[in-house]
Amino acid sequence: MPKWVAVGIMVAALLIGLLGGYLYWGRPLGSVEQELARVRVEAEAEREALTRSLRETEGRLKTAREEQERLEQALAEGRK
């Protein structure tokens, strides 16, 4: 077998190996962009949920403070 045929077969095998590696481990850029968009949407939804929860908690805290003030006033009037 001539030397150039052996070199050609080795180069072909190398290229096939590189292509196989890319297809197995590589991720096209589009899928990375899609994943980034998905993560952004999830982060925005989580931020909105946390904001809503914070507002609810602030509302409950305000109600509890008002109740505490009302009870303190009732206690002060009861002592008189």
Average the pLDDT over 42-50 and give the result.
96
Average the pLDDT over 20-33 and give the result.
72
* pLDDT bracket for residue 51 (50, 70, 90): very high
Percent of the chain beyond pLDDT 90?
55
Q: Report d(CA 42, CA 48) in Å as an integer.
A: 10
pLDDT at 61 over 90: yes
Q: Tens of pLDDT along 4-17? A: 888 889 999 999 98
Please tell me the pTM assigned to this model.
0.53
- Name residues whose C-beta falls within 8 Å of residue 29's C-beta, 6 or more positions apart in sequence: none
